[in-house]
Amino acid sequence: MSNSVSVANEGGVAIVTIDNPPVNALSFHVREPLLQALVALRDDASVSAIVIACAGRTFVAGADITEFGKPVQQPDLRAIVATLEAIAKPTVAAIHGTALGGGLELALGCHFRVADQGAKLGLPEVKLGLLPGGGGTVRLPRLVGALKAMRMIVSGTPIGAQEAHGAGLVDAVFEGDLTTHAVNFAREIARKGGPFTPVRERDESLGETDLAAFDAEAADLARNARGLEAPVACAQAVRNAVTLPFDEALAAERALFVKLVASDQSRAQRHLFFAEREAAKLPGRDVVKRRISRVGVIGAGTMGGGIAMAFANGGYPVTLLETSHEALQRGLATIEKNYAVSVTRGSLSEDARQQRLGQFKGSIDHADLGDCDLIIEAAFEDMAVKKEIFGKLDAVAKPGAILATNTSYLDIDEIAASISRPQDVLGLHFFSPANVMKLLEIVRAEKTAPDALATVVDLARRIGKVAVVVGVCHGFVGNRMLAARGSESEALLLEGATPSQIDKAFTDFGWPMGPFQMGDLAGLDIGWRNRKARGLTAVIADSLCEQGRFGQKTGRGFYLYENGSRTPIPDPEVEALIRDKAAEKGIAPRTIAADEIIERTLYPLINEGAKILEEGIAARASDIDVVWVNGYGFPIGKGGPMFWPGLVGAGKIIERLEYWLERTGKDVFKPASLLKRMAESGSWEAGSTA
Ligand code: 3H9
């Protein structure tokens, strides 16, 4: 037939196999022959049943995302599903790997779905700023009920084969050769002569929908969507499936899909999908990687403990090193407590808890790190401390072991130069809590060997992290840009804004929280210690720390937190302190608009990103977006600080930077030359020229 779609006949049961590596996406070159095959089999009297299966590692993982934003080439997915659904002989989707998005929608066009026991099924379009546009919102509720369908579609989270079976989405789950089972299943149905009813006609359960409960949950979801349009549209489309006749609901789904696919939010989210995958690509990635069997972590505090858990969760045995038995026991007890909480919450099974705890070996002797293939130090942020640790590692680590520092700021070239094997040294900058946060900045030092770098990039993926390779500079990509934002946040306070006013401007923009809530959550003492070490000051934050106001952990920071609650309450004492400090500096308070807050905090951050690109600290603009979305909560619907200027116009950003430069004379507003070049040329995808 074609390279992408082939047909075999096993005793009257036709097997249509889609073969479009790597994930069998429904590209045009699949859709065309697939439709032809289905039409031919529909009309072929020698065929009693049809099985749709896939070659390779997965069932169809969705529409081809690279085709979005271009003119649709017919036949589209809807035409294929309509043809499939109208076939008057049994049709069976044989699902292995993942049936996602358009892949699950194709399967919903079949009378039956059978799955391998390890299969996963879902409609993750919402993560791309979309809703399922191939009938998923209208067919899925007919099988699993409207409420469950809404939860699956709005979250985008796939479910396993057994759960899908229990919910009525899958008709049988098999172990062993799936295609053989699917063919037997189809043959048996054909022999019995039915019953087989197309999903579109299976609307018995829809009448039972409790619309009031549905609407209440949909309203909650809309509130949590933080300005994202897709989750709201997803819920609306599922509601339509309940309240409208099938074809009308299908037409409404299409209208919503067409609107979303052209939206800036979806463009931004599709950009991030590819950006994350691009970030993990290194030049010369076919280099032979080092073998990592055991990981050592130095420091069992919040950061070290979290890093150790991240590796244990990924299946790696971990040696956890501390300076004393007491500190070690404290660290291990926290880890045990964290796993126990996960069991109580139902996110971890008791077996998994035991298995993970079994991965830990505690020690207070550096010599015990001798059998580790990767050692990460997460000790105090102090160059002398780091050098001392690396000196010890130089003496005990096995040849070829990768020696990593979790420093957030320090010069890794200097650390590497202090030992005899700089080629094995690199940075692994985790974000706290390290067992939860997805981002990992991998810092390539001047002498880091390519195979050491490739090994940790691969390892990051294995432990579920989104990795971005960056170069050495103060604060690397994330914290360096954060510093550009932080200085202006403080300046705005002195000029008359309140912490809650600034934080609100941020949440209105789409951030999960503003800079002061974030500071209180992370602990203000961390930045304070850091500033002191570098001889820097931040007038307001330093004063708060001098009063022991470290944020949530002390119940007081920029805000008050009553009775251990995490809800920030504006504190008149802080506002008075700000006014006093402003008066000391002779600054008269004025009213500050939300637009000014965004311009003065976000634009310097973007500007710093452009400088980072120019200096080659980040290889691509999209890498910076990945850092900010995954590590700092940049709103996904805006695509990241390097993508967003393309939506609003880099020229506008330059203009406002120049305006603020003139008014304040501050360096952070001096437009980076790369930003200027981009604005002048009218193109904004800075990564392409970096
Ligand atoms: C949709 O279906 C809309 C319909 O409702 C309506 C239509 C009208 N298209 O992630 P990996 C590439 S929207 C094109 O590293 P894994 C990916 O870029 C779609 N390319 O592998 C990468 O390329 P490269 C709904 C795709 O094993 C390579 O495949 N579906 C697509 O870690 C390997 O990807 C989704 O949102 C695609 N659909 O994970 C599912 N998918 O090697 C999106 C992947 O050049 N996909 N690529 O960098 C995934 O979630 C994961 O890829 C998957 C495999 C779980 C399948």
108-166, pLDDT tens digit by residue? 999 999 999 999 999 999 999 999 999 999 999 999 999 999 999 999 999 999 999 99
132 lines ligand 1 (CB under 6 A): yes
CA of 130 to the centre of ligand 1 (A): 14
pLDDT for the residue 382: 87
Whole-number percent of the chain with pLDDT over 70: 98
Cα dist from 75 to 34, 69, 79, 101, 250, whole Å: 10, 16, 6, 17, 17
Q: Which atom of ligand 1 is nearest to the CA of 123?
A: 25
Give the bridge partners for 559, in sequence order: 570
CA of 273 to the centre of ligand 1 (A): 8
Per DSSP, the residues of 552-575 read GGGTBSSEE-GGG----EE-HHHH
Q: Which atom of ligand 1 is nearest to the CA of 76?
A: 8
Which residue's CA is the closest to the ligand 1 atom numbered 43? 61
**Is residue 323 scored above 50 in pLDDT?**
yes
CA of 23 to the centre of ligand 1 (A): 6
135 lines ligand 1 (CB under 6 A): no
How many CA within 13 A on the CB side of residue 82? 10
133 lines ligand 1 (CB under 6 A): yes
pLDDT for the residue 690: 30
pLDDT for the residue 679: 79
pLDDT for the residue 608: 96
pLDDT for the residue 163: 98
Catalytic annotation on 125? yes
Cα dist from 629 to 263, 341, 439, 473, 658, whole Å: 19, 27, 9, 20, 26
Residue 409: is it exposed, middle or buried by C-beta count within 10 angstroms (0-12/13-18/19+)?
middle
Give the list of residues 6+ apart from residue 504 with CB closer than 8 angstroms, or none: 514, 594
Strands 402-405 and 5-10: unpaired
Structure tokens at 349: 């099974």
66 lines ligand 1 (CB under 6 A): yes
Q: Return the SS3 of 523.
A: coil
Ligand 1 pocket test: which of 4, 20, 23, 34 has the largest number of ligand atoms within 8 Å of its C-beta? Answer: 23
Length of the chain counted residue by residue: 690
235-282, pLDDT tens digit by residue? 999 999 999 999 999 999 999 999 999 999 999 999 999 999 999 888
187-236, pLDDT tens digit by residue? 999 999 978 999 999 988 898 899 999 999 999 988 888 899 999 999 99
**What are the helix and strand counts (H, E) for the chain?**
28, 19
Q: What is the mean pLDDT of the chain?
A: 95
Residue with token string 């149905």: 189
**Is residue 687 scored above 50 in pLDDT?**
no
CA 47 from centre of chain: 45
Which residue's CA is the closest to the ligand 1 atom numbered 50? 61
Q: Which atom of ligand 1 is nearest to the CA of 102?
A: 2
Cα dist from 643 to 264, 464, 510, 516, whole Å: 11, 24, 15, 25
Calpha distance 490→519 (Å, rounded): 12
Query: Residue 689 — very low, low, confident or very high, per pLDDT cuts 50/70/90?
Result: very low
Give the list of residues 6+ apart from residue 390 with CB closer than 8 angstroms, or none: 377, 403, 405, 415, 418, 419, 425
pLDDT for the residue 532: 87
Q: Which residue of the set 10, 32, 67, 125 is catalytic?
A: 125
Ligand 1 pocket test: which of 54, 65, 128, 137 has the largest number of ligand atoms within 8 Å of its C-beta? Answer: 65
CA of 642 to the centre of ligand 1 (A): 23
- Smallest Cα–Cα separation from 392: which of 406, 407, 377? 377
Cα dist from 610 to 439, 469, 487, 619, 678, whole Å: 20, 16, 18, 11, 10
363-408, pLDDT tens digit by residue? 999 999 999 999 999 998 889 999 999 999 999 999 999 999 999 8
Structure tokens at 287: 């280099």
Q: Which residue of the set 10, 32, 105, 446 is catalytic?
A: 105
**Is residue 639 scored above 90 in pLDDT?**
yes
Calpha distance 156→230 (Å, rounded): 11
CA of 94 to the centre of ligand 1 (A): 19
Strands 159-160 and 172-174: unpaired
Q: Which atom of ligand 1 is nearest to the CA of 281?
A: 48
Structure tokens at 600: 């003065």
Catalytic annotation on 105? yes
CA of 505 to the centre of ligand 1 (A): 34
